[in-house]
Amino acid sequence: MGRAEAPCALIVMGVSGSGKSTVAKALGERLGWRFEDGDSFHPASNVEKMRAGHPLTDEDRWPWLNAIANEIALVCGRGEHVIIACSALKHAYRDVLLRGRDDVRFVFLKGTKELIAERLAQRKGHFMPLGLLTSQFDTLEPPEAGERVVTVSIDESVEAIVDGVVRQLKLSSAIPKVLP
């Protein structure tokens, strides 16, 4: 099996605490692609709202999602590659991010509410309070096969997750060879 055509962008998605930024950064390092944290595209008003423990509304999210979609369009238009960590919890959000493109793929980090709550409780310096996790799971519409998604369990090490993503995307030449 040969190397598949690489997408120009990967969106690493899931609820807060699933490891989006960590996995996306590691994936970027593995593939040699630029990493962007979707949180950096939020307007300050969204960050303050989340920090105060209030879930975002769809109206809050549209400008944020459009800013990420604009970045993807710029990067892909230049023939470059980017990996973006972004919750992308609903089908409608993913549609905005894609804008009908077929050269963007989603990587869904799937985990139990209990495991993610445990991870969030140990996190320092992040604006997403533990109390909003239930709201994230309530909002989550897991991606379906037609959404060009790679689903991976967060029960593994970051390296194993990255290996699984690269393997599923058939970007096999990007996996370093290990001599016996």
Domain boundaries, the chain: 9-172
pLDDT grade, residue 176 (50/70/90)? Answer: very low
For the CA atoms of 138, 144, 175, 33, the dihedral, rounded to the nearest 10 degrees, stands at -70
Evaluated on CA atoms 113, 114, 118, 119, the torsion sign reads negative
pLDDT exceeds cutoff 60 at 50: yes
Q: How many CA within 13 A on the CB side of residue 91?
A: 7
What integer is the mean pLDDT of 82-101? 96
Alpha-carbon gap, residue 55 to 100, rounded angstroms:
28
Q: Report yes or no: 151 and 106 within 8 Å, Cβ to Cβ.
A: no
pLDDT exceeds cutoff 50 at 56: yes
- The percent of residues above 70 in pLDDT, for the chain, comes to 88
The CATH code of domain 9-172 reads 3.40.50.300
pLDDT exceeds cutoff 50 at 106: yes
* Residue with the two structure tokens 């423990």: 53
pLDDT exceeds cutoff 80 at 89: yes
pLDDT exceeds cutoff 80 at 128: no
Instruction: Specify the pTM.
Output: 0.86
Alpha-carbon gap, residue 147 to 70, rounded angstroms:
19
H or E, element range at 101: none
pLDDT exceeds cutoff 90 at 153: yes
Structure tokens at 106: 């989603």
Q: What pLDDT does 130 receive?
A: 58
